[in-house]
Amino acid sequence: MTCWSCYPRTAVYVGTEGKRLAWAEMNLAQRKMHMRREILPRAAKLFRQWRPERFSTIDCRLCHGKGQQTDNFGMPTAHLPRLSGKLLLGPEFEKHPETTRLKLERLVPMMSEALGLRSFSIITRTGFGCYSCHLGPDGPKFGN
Ligand code: HEC
Ligand code: HEC
């Protein structure tokens, strides 16, 4: 039986030996494989449904930018636009309501699930959320 309230929720990576590893336990090569197998297809589907003309094909560069060439996949990244750093995303909802809703309602839950991580909680101010990908005005925010 799956324990949905247990974390890491899913043993996410199954290696060649059939060993199940959580995201935190994976080495760099396993993380790349997990990104290619689990994250990229889901992100491609989500962004393509949202704006087919703009996101008809996506690859690792969508989130990591030049990271692919330099083998630096660290997140959050300056490749993505910086966000306001406001806990309740006021400025983001005002300026970019559509992408903010998409991210909050679909991208963040999809990513948390595929990585087996908790989603960001306003109460603890930790977990996987906007600032797992984006920087704030002065750099990383909320423990990222
Ligand atoms: C939808 C956005 C997105 C796409 C597309 C994506 N990644 Fe990632 N990637 C992330 C995020 C977010 C993290 C950080 C996860 C965490 O630890 O919080 C990450 C982390 C990684 C890491 C671990 C970095 C480290 O320092 O441990 C590697 C390696 C990686 N990605 C490789 C890839 C590769 C290769 C591709 C293409 C096959 C890819 N990613 C596509 C969002 C993405
Ligand atoms: C998995 C990585 C990831 C996460 C998590 C994420 N974003 Fe993004 N965000 C992106 C990518 C990739 C783009 C560029 C593509 C696009 O325009 O959507 C982007 C673009 C944006 C933009 C567009 C800015 C502009 O100038 O056009 C806004 C606003 C934004 N994100 C807000 C958010 C908010 C708010 C959250 C949390 C609810 C969030 N993002 C979570 C990856 C992410």
Q: Is the pLDDT at 20 greater than 70, yes or no?
A: yes
89 C-alpha to center of ligand 1: Å? 23
pLDDT value at 131 more than 60: yes
Say how many Å lie between the first and final Cα of the chain, rounded.
Answer: 32
Q: Mutation test of ligand 1: which of 28, 64, 110 has the most ligand atoms closer than 8 Å to its C-beta?
A: 64
Closest CA to 121 of 143, 100, 99, 90: 143
Pocket test residue of 23, 34, 35, 103 for ligand 1, highest count of atoms within 8 A of CB: 35
* Mean pLDDT value across residues 12-19: 68
Nearest residue (by CA) to ligand 1, atom 6, is: 60
Residue 130 identity (one-letter amino acid): C
CA–centroid distance, residue 5 to ligand 1 (Å): 24
Specify the pLDDT at position 2: 46
- Are 17 and 30 spatial neighbours (Cβ–Cβ below 8 Å)? no
> 11 falls in which pLDDT band (50, 70, 90)?
low
Which of 4-13, 37-46, 79-88, 129-138 shows the lowest mean pLDDT across its residues?
Answer: 4-13
The arithmetic mean of pLDDT across residues 103-120, rounded, is 95
Q: For residues 38 and 34, what is the distance between their CA atoms, to the nearest angstrom?
A: 6
